[in-house]
């Protein structure tokens, strides 16, 4: 079995799953969020974090066990640009995640709870910023795959 091929495919599938979960969260965080959608959003947000961890874990496996020498990554500016964009995405997810948890807890105590529009708008801004950082990741990945950044 070609271990490098397996790791590359696993990494790509994990990234696609991350984008899919992100898109679902992007669609759900909007005015009128309440009831079952709020519970669904909380589950999606947890899946988003777990999927991001999977992307990192498989990515690290690619670095240390893949066909390309790890030194290529450590010395590649495009790689570090990709890592910076991923880190920015992770940091930008913190405020929405905290809000989602707070909303989920409030919905358990108050029947028909609906998050304040101002908080939804603030979370949407962070999610839009995450989308901007996400767009940079495939650009850096494509540059890296073509030897740029070394």
Among 121, 115, 10, 122, which Cα is nearest to 66's? 10
Residue 32 lies in a domain: yes
State the pLDDT at residue 73: 92
Helix spans in the chain (H): 3-28, 35-65, 70-74, 77-92, 94-109, 117-145
User: How many domains does the chain fold into?
Assistant: 1
Query: Does 97 reside within a domain?
Result: yes
> Does a structural domain hold residue 150?
no
State residue 1's pLDDT score: 63
Condensed to tens digits (0 to 9), the pLDDT of residues 24-65 reads 999 999 999 998 899 999 999 999 999 999 999 999 999 999
Domain that holds residue 65: 3-145
Work out the angle at residue 76's Cα, subtended by the Cα atoms of residues 142 and 23, and round it to the nearest 5 degrees: 40
User: What's the mean pLDDT in 87-115?
Assistant: 95
Q: How much is the pTM?
A: 0.91
Give the burial class of 122: count Cβ atoms within 10 A of its Cβ; 0-12 exposed, 13-18 middle, 19 or more buried. middle
């Amino acid at each position: 079995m070609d271990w490098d091929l397996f790791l590359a495919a696993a990494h790509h599938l994990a990234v696609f799953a991350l984008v899919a979960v992100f898109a679902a969260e992007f669609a759900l965080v909007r005015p009128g969020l309440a009831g079952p959608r709020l519970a669904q959003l909380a589950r999606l947000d947890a899946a988003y974090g777990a999927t991001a961890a999977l992307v990192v874990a498989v990515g690290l496996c690619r670095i240390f066990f893949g066909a390309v020498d790890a030194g290529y990554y450590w010395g590649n500016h495009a790689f570090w640009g990709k890592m910076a964009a991923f880190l920015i995405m992770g940091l930008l997810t913190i405020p929405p995640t905290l809000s989602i948890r707070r909303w989920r807890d409030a919905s358990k105590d108050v029947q028909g709870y609906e998050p304040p529009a101002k908080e939804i708008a603030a979370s949407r801004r962070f999610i839009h910023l995450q989308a901007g950082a996400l767009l940079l990741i495939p650009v850096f990945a494509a540059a890296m795959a073509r030897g740029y950044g070394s």
